[in-house]
Amino acid sequence: MYTTWIWLVVLLPLLSTVLSLATIGGVSRSLAAFAHPSPANLVLLTSPGYLVSSILGWVIFALSIVFSRLDHRTLERRGVERPFHWAWSFLAWPVYTIGRAVIVRRVAGGRGAGVLWASIAVLVVTIAAGVAVSLILMSAMLQLVHQLPSTGA
């Protein structure tokens, strides 16, 4: 009981993760502008990498909702009674994919666990990448703090 749509929902977050890792260098370099107070400090929020990453994050969120709806409709057409509702994807993509996998396994006699395991694997990868990005940004911010002029106390 696999559909193309469910695999798109499961794998789409990897695109956002790859983009975050690709743009983190530019974002961390943009943090250096905050060491010197000026109107140019908005460079971080207007940097192309940050803007593309932010916009793509929203696009991926919207696409995961659309693909969840298409998957739900496909399951209904294949005769699955009361498939896991696609609106759960508004909370987060893993909610829909894991819930869907549980329902499909129940209906399909134990088959369909691939979506569950793929969702868990993608979730682990995205969390690990998030931790890495957080560590890189924290390192950049700590370097920024050391560059700030001391005020003396």
pLDDT tier at 45, thresholds 50, 70, 90: low
Supply the DSSP symbol for 149. P
Q: What is the mean pLDDT of residues 63-88?
A: 93
The answer on pLDDT for 40 being more than 70 is no
Q: What's residue 99's pLDDT?
A: 92
Q: Rounded CA gap, 17 and 129, in Å?
A: 7
pTM of the model: 0.77
- The answer on pLDDT for 72 being more than 70 is yes
- The CA distance from 119 to 139, in Å, is 30
Average pLDDT across the chain, whole number = 84
**pLDDT-based confidence at residue 64 (cuts at 50, 70, 90):** very high
- Alpha-carbon distance of 88 to 125, in angstroms, equals 22
What share of the chain in percent tops pLDDT 70? 81
Indicate the pLDDT class of residue 153, thresholds 50, 70 and 90: low
Q: How confident is the model over 116-128, as pLDDT tens digits?
A: 999 999 999 999 9
Contact 53, 20 (CB under 8 A): yes
The mean per-residue pLDDT over the stretch 43-72 comes to 85
Higher-pLDDT residue of 49 and 77 is: 77
Model pLDDT, residue 95: 93
